[in-house]
Structure 1
Protein backbone atom coordinates (compact mmCIF):
# COMPACT_ATOMS: atom_id res chain seq x y z
CA UNK A 1 0.00 0.00 0.00
CA UNK A 2 1.35 3.44 -0.91
CA UNK A 3 2.29 6.21 1.50
CA UNK A 4 -0.53 8.72 1.99
CA UNK A 5 -0.09 12.34 2.84
CA UNK A 6 -2.14 13.95 5.60
CA UNK A 7 -5.03 15.70 3.88
CA UNK A 8 -5.42 18.22 6.71
CA UNK A 9 -1.94 19.75 6.99
CA UNK A 10 -0.67 18.32 3.68
CA UNK A 11 2.84 18.25 5.14
CA UNK A 12 3.56 14.80 6.55
CA UNK A 13 2.70 11.16 6.04
CA UNK A 14 -0.67 10.15 7.47
CA UNK A 15 -0.86 7.46 10.11
CA UNK A 16 -4.62 7.39 10.63
CA UNK A 17 -7.97 7.69 8.86
CA UNK A 18 -11.13 9.44 10.03
CA UNK A 19 -13.55 6.69 11.07
CA UNK A 20 -16.42 8.48 9.31
CA UNK A 21 -15.15 9.92 6.02
CA UNK A 22 -11.84 7.98 5.82
CA UNK A 23 -9.74 11.10 5.14
CA UNK A 24 -6.08 10.43 6.06
CA UNK A 25 -4.61 12.53 8.88
CA UNK A 26 -1.33 12.50 10.78
CA UNK A 27 -2.00 13.61 14.36
CA UNK A 28 -4.55 14.45 17.02
CA UNK A 29 -4.17 18.14 16.16
CA UNK A 30 -5.04 17.47 12.50
CA UNK A 31 -7.93 15.23 13.52
CA UNK A 32 -9.36 18.00 15.74
CA UNK A 33 -8.93 20.53 12.93
CA UNK A 34 -10.68 18.15 10.53
CA UNK A 35 -13.59 17.71 12.97
CA UNK A 36 -14.21 21.47 13.14
CA UNK A 37 -16.42 20.93 10.08
CA UNK A 38 -18.75 17.90 10.32
CA UNK A 39 -17.89 15.16 7.86
CA UNK A 40 -19.98 12.33 6.49
CA UNK A 41 -19.50 8.85 5.16
CA UNK A 42 -18.75 8.97 1.42
CA UNK A 43 -21.45 7.60 -0.86
CA UNK A 44 -20.61 4.60 -3.00
CA UNK A 45 -20.26 6.83 -6.07
CA UNK A 46 -17.84 9.14 -4.20
CA UNK A 47 -15.75 6.36 -2.70
CA UNK A 48 -12.65 5.44 -4.61
CA UNK A 49 -12.21 1.77 -5.36
CA UNK A 50 -9.04 0.53 -3.73
CA UNK A 51 -7.16 -2.11 -5.68
CA UNK A 52 -7.02 -5.41 -3.85
CA UNK A 53 -3.70 -7.24 -3.81
CA UNK A 54 -4.34 -10.92 -4.36
CA UNK A 55 -1.51 -13.28 -3.48
CA UNK A 56 -0.27 -15.32 -6.40
CA UNK A 57 -1.13 -18.98 -6.32
CA UNK A 58 -1.00 -21.63 -9.00
CA UNK A 59 -4.12 -21.91 -11.13
CA UNK A 60 -5.72 -25.31 -11.09
CA UNK A 61 -8.01 -25.67 -14.09
CA UNK A 62 -8.97 -28.69 -16.09
CA UNK A 63 -8.99 -26.84 -19.42
CA UNK A 64 -7.03 -23.76 -20.45
CA UNK A 65 -10.07 -22.31 -22.28
CA UNK A 66 -11.77 -21.98 -18.87
CA UNK A 67 -9.42 -19.07 -18.10
CA UNK A 68 -10.71 -15.59 -18.89
CA UNK A 69 -8.85 -13.32 -21.27
CA UNK A 70 -7.93 -9.75 -20.34
CA UNK A 71 -10.73 -8.29 -22.51
CA UNK A 72 -13.27 -10.48 -20.71
CA UNK A 73 -12.06 -9.20 -17.32
CA UNK A 74 -12.29 -5.64 -18.58
CA UNK A 75 -15.84 -6.24 -19.82
CA UNK A 76 -16.90 -7.59 -16.42
CA UNK A 77 -15.10 -4.82 -14.52
CA UNK A 78 -16.84 -2.12 -16.57
CA UNK A 79 -20.32 -3.60 -16.09
CA UNK A 80 -22.57 -1.61 -13.76
CA UNK A 81 -24.77 -4.70 -13.31
CA UNK A 82 -21.86 -6.82 -12.12
CA UNK A 83 -20.56 -4.09 -9.80
CA UNK A 84 -24.06 -3.56 -8.38
CA UNK A 85 -24.38 -7.29 -7.70
CA UNK A 86 -21.01 -7.32 -5.92
CA UNK A 87 -22.23 -4.70 -3.46
CA UNK A 88 -24.23 -7.49 -1.83
CA UNK A 89 -22.19 -8.51 1.22
CA UNK A 90 -23.73 -12.00 1.33
CA UNK A 91 -22.70 -12.64 -2.28
CA UNK A 92 -19.14 -11.47 -1.55
CA UNK A 93 -19.01 -13.85 1.44
CA UNK A 94 -20.08 -16.75 -0.78
CA UNK A 95 -17.41 -15.89 -3.36
CA UNK A 96 -14.73 -15.66 -0.65
CA UNK A 97 -15.85 -18.98 0.80
CA UNK A 98 -15.48 -20.63 -2.61
CA UNK A 99 -12.12 -18.98 -3.24
CA UNK A 100 -10.67 -19.85 0.18
CA UNK A 101 -11.93 -23.40 0.27
CA UNK A 102 -9.58 -26.36 -0.06
CA UNK A 103 -12.30 -27.96 -2.17
CA UNK A 104 -13.60 -25.11 -4.32
CA UNK A 105 -15.64 -27.37 -6.59
CA UNK A 106 -17.78 -28.60 -3.67
CA UNK A 107 -18.27 -25.03 -2.40
CA UNK A 108 -19.20 -23.92 -5.90
CA UNK A 109 -21.78 -26.70 -6.15
CA UNK A 110 -23.31 -25.64 -2.82
CA UNK A 111 -23.35 -21.99 -3.88
CA UNK A 112 -25.09 -22.82 -7.16
CA UNK A 113 -28.00 -24.24 -5.14
CA UNK A 114 -28.69 -20.78 -3.72
CA UNK A 115 -30.57 -18.22 -5.76
CA UNK A 116 -28.32 -15.17 -5.41
CA UNK A 117 -25.08 -16.85 -6.47
CA UNK A 118 -26.76 -18.66 -9.37
CA UNK A 119 -28.21 -15.34 -10.60
CA UNK A 120 -24.78 -13.74 -10.33
CA UNK A 121 -23.14 -16.60 -12.24
CA UNK A 122 -25.82 -16.36 -14.95
CA UNK A 123 -25.19 -12.59 -15.22
CA UNK A 124 -21.48 -13.18 -15.70
CA UNK A 125 -22.06 -15.86 -18.30
CA UNK A 126 -24.47 -13.63 -20.23
CA UNK A 127 -21.76 -10.93 -20.44
CA UNK A 128 -19.16 -13.41 -21.61
CA UNK A 129 -21.45 -15.43 -23.87
Structure 2
Protein backbone atom coordinates (compact mmCIF):
# COMPACT_ATOMS: atom_id res chain seq x y z
CA UNK A 1 0.00 0.00 0.00
CA UNK A 2 1.57 3.28 -1.15
CA UNK A 3 1.45 6.75 0.35
CA UNK A 4 -1.98 8.26 0.76
CA UNK A 5 -3.14 11.81 0.24
CA UNK A 6 -3.45 14.08 3.27
CA UNK A 7 -7.09 14.03 4.33
CA UNK A 8 -6.82 17.52 5.83
CA UNK A 9 -5.50 19.62 2.90
CA UNK A 10 -6.18 17.01 0.17
CA UNK A 11 -3.04 18.21 -1.64
CA UNK A 12 0.17 16.64 -0.32
CA UNK A 13 1.00 13.00 0.35
CA UNK A 14 0.56 12.05 3.97
CA UNK A 15 3.64 11.22 6.04
CA UNK A 16 1.82 10.73 9.33
CA UNK A 17 -1.41 9.45 10.87
CA UNK A 18 -3.35 10.99 13.73
CA UNK A 19 -2.58 8.96 16.87
CA UNK A 20 -6.25 9.18 17.89
CA UNK A 21 -8.27 8.44 14.76
CA UNK A 22 -5.54 7.35 12.28
CA UNK A 23 -6.49 9.99 9.68
CA UNK A 24 -3.49 10.60 7.38
CA UNK A 25 -1.99 14.11 7.37
CA UNK A 26 1.11 15.70 5.83
CA UNK A 27 2.40 18.33 8.24
CA UNK A 28 2.17 19.94 11.66
CA UNK A 29 -0.07 22.64 10.16
CA UNK A 30 -2.53 20.00 8.96
CA UNK A 31 -2.26 18.13 12.27
CA UNK A 32 -3.21 21.30 14.18
CA UNK A 33 -6.10 21.98 11.81
CA UNK A 34 -7.30 18.37 12.20
CA UNK A 35 -7.13 18.61 16.01
CA UNK A 36 -9.48 21.63 16.03
CA UNK A 37 -12.27 19.05 15.79
CA UNK A 38 -12.17 16.29 18.45
CA UNK A 39 -11.52 12.83 17.07
CA UNK A 40 -11.29 9.34 18.49
CA UNK A 41 -9.58 6.08 17.63
CA UNK A 42 -11.76 3.89 15.43
CA UNK A 43 -13.11 0.92 17.36
CA UNK A 44 -12.48 -2.47 15.76
CA UNK A 45 -15.09 -5.20 15.96
CA UNK A 46 -12.78 -7.11 18.33
CA UNK A 47 -12.51 -4.13 20.71
CA UNK A 48 -16.28 -3.64 20.67
CA UNK A 49 -16.82 -7.09 22.11
CA UNK A 50 -13.96 -6.89 24.64
CA UNK A 51 -14.83 -5.25 27.98
CA UNK A 52 -12.37 -2.60 29.21
CA UNK A 53 -10.57 -3.73 32.37
CA UNK A 54 -11.37 -1.51 35.32
CA UNK A 55 -7.68 -0.68 35.74
CA UNK A 56 -7.64 0.98 32.29
CA UNK A 57 -10.39 3.43 33.13
CA UNK A 58 -9.13 6.99 32.99
CA UNK A 59 -7.87 8.26 36.32
CA UNK A 60 -7.01 11.84 37.31
CA UNK A 61 -3.46 12.99 36.67
CA UNK A 62 -1.55 15.27 38.99
CA UNK A 63 1.72 17.15 38.65
CA UNK A 64 3.84 18.42 41.52
CA UNK A 65 5.07 21.43 39.54
CA UNK A 66 3.19 23.31 36.78
CA UNK A 67 6.36 23.04 34.66
CA UNK A 68 6.01 19.24 34.73
CA UNK A 69 2.96 19.47 32.43
CA UNK A 70 3.74 19.48 28.71
CA UNK A 71 2.37 22.30 26.61
CA UNK A 72 0.19 21.70 23.56
CA UNK A 73 3.04 22.38 21.10
CA UNK A 74 5.25 19.85 22.90
CA UNK A 75 2.50 17.21 22.81
CA UNK A 76 1.95 17.85 19.10
CA UNK A 77 5.68 17.48 18.41
CA UNK A 78 5.71 14.15 20.23
CA UNK A 79 2.58 12.93 18.44
CA UNK A 80 3.91 13.89 15.02
CA UNK A 81 7.42 12.46 15.49
CA UNK A 82 8.00 9.60 13.05
CA UNK A 83 10.90 8.43 15.23
CA UNK A 84 8.58 8.03 18.24
CA UNK A 85 5.82 6.48 16.15
CA UNK A 86 8.30 3.92 14.77
CA UNK A 87 9.51 3.12 18.29
CA UNK A 88 5.91 2.44 19.36
CA UNK A 89 5.74 -0.43 16.85
CA UNK A 90 8.00 -2.49 19.14
CA UNK A 91 5.94 -5.17 20.90
CA UNK A 92 8.14 -5.15 24.02
CA UNK A 93 7.72 -1.39 24.38
CA UNK A 94 3.96 -1.71 23.89
CA UNK A 95 3.80 -4.31 26.67
CA UNK A 96 5.79 -2.11 29.06
CA UNK A 97 3.50 0.88 28.39
CA UNK A 98 0.40 -1.30 28.78
CA UNK A 99 1.69 -2.60 32.13
CA UNK A 100 2.34 0.94 33.37
CA UNK A 101 -1.04 2.22 32.21
CA UNK A 102 -2.98 -0.72 33.62
CA UNK A 103 -1.21 -0.95 36.96
CA UNK A 104 -2.71 0.25 40.25
CA UNK A 105 0.91 1.12 41.17
CA UNK A 106 1.96 2.85 37.94
CA UNK A 107 4.96 4.54 39.55
CA UNK A 108 6.44 1.17 40.53
CA UNK A 109 5.78 -0.20 37.01
CA UNK A 110 7.46 2.88 35.54
CA UNK A 111 10.53 2.28 37.70
CA UNK A 112 10.65 -1.34 36.48
CA UNK A 113 10.24 -0.25 32.85
CA UNK A 114 13.21 2.11 33.16
CA UNK A 115 15.35 -1.02 33.55
CA UNK A 116 14.62 -1.92 29.92
CA UNK A 117 16.83 -0.35 27.25
CA UNK A 118 13.91 -0.06 24.79
CA UNK A 119 11.91 2.00 27.32
CA UNK A 120 14.83 4.26 28.25
CA UNK A 121 15.50 4.95 24.56
CA UNK A 122 11.82 5.70 24.01
CA UNK A 123 11.69 8.18 26.92
CA UNK A 124 14.84 9.90 25.62
CA UNK A 125 13.15 10.36 22.22
CA UNK A 126 10.09 11.85 23.90
CA UNK A 127 12.16 14.23 26.00
CA UNK A 128 14.17 15.26 22.96
CA UNK A 129 11.04 16.00 20.89
CA UNK A 130 9.46 17.95 23.77
CA UNK A 131 12.64 19.94 24.38
CA UNK A 132 13.14 20.76 20.70
CA UNK A 133 9.56 22.00 20.33
CA UNK A 134 9.81 24.23 23.41
CA UNK A 135 12.89 25.93 21.94
CA UNK A 136 11.07 26.95 18.74
For normalisation by structure 2, the TM-score amounts to: 0.54
* CA RMSD after TM alignment: 2.7
Q: Tell me how many residue pairs correspond in the alignment.
A: 87
Contact 2:75–2:130, Cα closer than 8 Å, also in 1: no
C-alpha distance 80-64 of structure 1, shift in aligned 2 (>3 A): same
The residue that corresponds to 1:105 in the other structure is 107
Q: Which runs of 5+ in 2 are unaligned?
A: 5-16, 24-39, 43-55, 132-136
d(CA) in 2 for partners of 1:49 and 1:110? 30
Superposition deviation, residue 60 in structure 1: 2.8
54-63 vs 108-117, greater mean Cα deviation: 54-63
Ranked by relative contact order (alpha carbons within 8 Å, sequence separation 6 or more), the top structure is 2
Q: Secondary structure at the match of 1:113?
A: coil
Which one has a larger percent helix, Structure 1 or Structure 2? 2
For normalisation by structure 1, the TM-score amounts to: 0.57
Which of 106, 119, 125 is the equivalent residue of 2:127?
125
C-alpha distance 45-76 of structure 1, shift in aligned 2 (>3 A): farther
Q: Secondary structure at the match of 1:77?
A: helix
Q: Which runs of 5+ in 1 are unaligned?
A: 1-42
Q: Point out the structure with max Rg over C-alpha.
A: 1
